[in-house]
Amino acid sequence: MGRLDRKVAVITGAAKGLGKQMALTFAAEGADIAICDIEEMDATAKGIKDLGRKVLVLKADITKKDEVDKFFSSVMDTFKKVDILVNNAGTTRNVGFFDMTGEDWDFIQDANLKGAFFCTQVAARYMKERKYGRIVNMSSVASVSSRPIATVNYQCAKSGVIQLTRACARELGPYGITVNVMAPGIIVTEMTYLNRSRETVDKMVDEGIKRTPLGRLGTPKDVANLALFFALDESSFISGQLIVLDGGWA
């Protein structure tokens, strides 16, 4: 407890699922939290307050640069600094390869890759002034595996997040900023059910457990714990790295 005392963490896509769990985990370690999403974040905000931490809540579409600028301006007005950024916001659209349109492609690239770039660019401008920062990106096991667990547009976007991480680690390292990326396996959250029936998800979960050497799927807490490690000073010499959280599945 208290390993993030006096730190300010910005977490995107924090209304529910992984983003919510990471926000609560960071708050439990003493960080004040700024969260954004395009959905209501009342439950996440209440959880942070119940842990005794300050929270800033602002609806923002991270695919729009002006909204990203406004969000981070509010963070600076409220907390005066940004120590940690977790680029968690993202989504999927389950469209088959031959049915995929240009709009399907662009929507997923924007939500998962362009938004992470915008947030990283803006946050890093504030971080470089203090020669300190921790940036954690969210990819997926789908980006490093040929198994058909995601659509082509999503796999390509999440692969781009890995390369964004490596490129930004080189660009931002001289300013004391580390940039790392997580690639979770199957983690059942609200997003898992987007455009999927419960029967389809149940089948995916059963197959995932059978294929995972550890005999279980990951949980949001597993992901939050890794994000926390990347945010701590104990990881200060780790940058540009990818860690896959899949129980040995890939």
Domain CATH number, residue 51: 3.40.50.720
Number of domains, the chain: 1
| 2 within domain boundaries | no
Q: Is 240 left (phi over 0), alpha (psi -120 to 50) or beta?
A: left
Range list of H helices, 8-57? 17-28, 42-50
| 180 within domain boundaries | yes
Q: What is the pLDDT of residue 94?
A: 81
Q: What is the pLDDT of residue 231?
A: 98
DSSP 8-state code for residue 232: S
Token pair in block for residue 111: 């939500």
CB 211 within 8 A of CB 188: no
CB 76 within 8 A of CB 58: no
Q: What is the pLDDT of residue 144?
A: 87
| 92 within domain boundaries | yes
CB 245 within 8 A of CB 226: yes
Token pair in block for residue 58: 């602002």
* Largest pairwise CA distance in the chain: 51
Of how many residues is the chain composed?
Answer: 250
Token pair in block for residue 136: 């954690």
Catalytic residue at 126?
no
Task: Pick the closest to residue 182 from 234, 232, 144 (CA basis).
Answer: 144
Q: What is the pLDDT of residue 194?
A: 62
| 1 within domain boundaries | no
Q: Which tens digit of pLDDT belongs to each residue from 80-103?
A: 999 999 999 999 888 889 999 999
Token pair in block for residue 18: 């992984």
Q: What is the pLDDT of residue 37?
A: 97
| 155 within domain boundaries | yes
**Phi, psi values for residue 220, rounded to 5°:** -55, -35
**Positions of the chain with pLDDT under 70:** 146-149, 190-196
Query: Across the strands, what pairs with 203?
Result: none
What is the model's pTM?
A: 0.93
Domain that holds residue 139: 8-245
The rounded distance, in Å, linking the Cα atoms of 115 and 111 is 6
| 37 within domain boundaries | yes
| 211 within domain boundaries | yes
Choice among 132, 154, 175, 193 that is catalytic: 154
Query: Across the strands, what pairs with 187?
Result: 218
| 167 within domain boundaries | yes
Q: What is the pLDDT of residue 196?
A: 67
The rounded distance, in Å, linking the Cα atoms of 241 and 250 is 17
Q: What is the pLDDT of residue 149?
A: 67
